[in-house]
Amino acid sequence: MDVGILSKRKTMMAKKLKDCLESKGFTASIYTLENLIINETLLNKDFFILKSKSLFFLYAGYFLEANNIPVIPKPQISFLQKNRIQSHFLMKRIGLLTPEIYLGTADTFKNQLDLKYFPFILKPIMGSGSKGVRIIKTHKDLKSESNSILYLERYIKGIHYNVYFIDNEICTLIKPPLADEHVDMKKIETPDDISAVIKKWKNYFNGDLLFGHLDIVREDSSNKLYIVDPGSFPEFTNWKCKSSPAETICNLIINEYEKIQRNSNNN
């Protein structure tokens, strides 16, 4: 089989997936911004792995799906986790706690946000992880040269967790607030309530969510768990459980493709 990998880079997890696929006799090619053109040449592949949630790669995923080429993970699932507004209301629909959000221009916030509500977390509407994220402590921190819409999230004071999951395995780590997944983290035994959150999140997608991660904060004052960021395809840099993440994910993706093919043949 001939597999394409849609990724921002040719290193790290994308490279590991390519190596894994090739070790199993597959042909694998990585498409980055340097060599990706969204046209009919992509349709020669058997299926694609959507490693990146960047919009250009999501557009490629939608194009492929429209032409009956399987994409794993599904582009719509990745988009729901890329767009913070979508993911916020999805969490609420599922019944998971997530911080209240505020949308408006910098000037609107300066005129209407009461000081008693500070601090906030400013995040890009399209994104995941810590890129472009900063804490807003006063009105002076709200700076915008244009009339663009800003996304503010109520800051939850508490213990921050990075929680990976691959199939039924969960790896829970304590992380510094606002840090990305590449900083060193301490692994802990997964608490029962975090396991329940992961199960609830995965169940919503009816088996289509093979792996991912949730950034979770346990609020000091209430001990409640708030989901502050989902991720459809992290690098699993801090995976500290027994299995090899790249090998396990590679096998899950192959199994998913074979399941798609069986269902297609039966219809």
What DSSP string describes 163-228?
EEEETTEEEEEE--TT--TTS--EEEPPPHHHHHHHHHHHHHTTT---EEEEEEEEETTT--EEEE
pLDDT value of position 219: 98
- Output the six-digit token pair for 173: 């780590």
For each of the chain's 267 residues, which pLDDT tens digit applies?
A: 999 999 999 999 999 999 999 999 999 999 999 999 999 999 999 999 999 989 999 999 999 999 999 999 999 999 999 999 999 999 999 999 999 999 999 888 888 877 677 899 999 998 766 677 889 988 788 876 667 899 999 999 999 999 999 999 999 999 998 888 899 999 999 999 999 999 999 999 999 999 999 999 999 999 999 999 999 999 999 999 988 999 999 999 999 999 999 988 886
Domain ranges of the chain: 2-72, 84-97+156-267, 101-154
pLDDT value of residue 143: 74
What pLDDT was estimated at residue 128? 67
Residue in 152, 73, 164 with CA at minimum distance from that of residue 120: 152
Whole-number Å distance between alpha carbons of 42 and 46: 9
3-class secondary-structure state, position 160:
strand
Q: Are 6 and 52 in contact (CB under 8 A)?
A: yes
Q: What is the pLDDT at residue 192?
A: 98
Residues 218 and 153: their CA atoms lie apart, in Å, by 16
Q: Pairing relation of β-strands 211-219 and 158-166?
A: antiparallel
Per-residue confidence (pLDDT) for residue 46, from 0 to 100 = 97
| Residue 152, amino acid | L
In this structure, whether the domain defined by 84-97+156-267 belongs to CATH 3.30.470.20 is answered with yes
Fold of 2-72: Rossmann fold (3.40.50)
Question: Taking a C-beta distance cutoff of 8 angstroms, is the pair 74, 67 a contact?
Answer: no
- Residue 201's closest CA among 90, 101, 127, 58? 90
**CA 141 vs CA 114, 137, 147: distances in Å:** 14, 7, 16
* pTM attached to this predicted model: 0.93
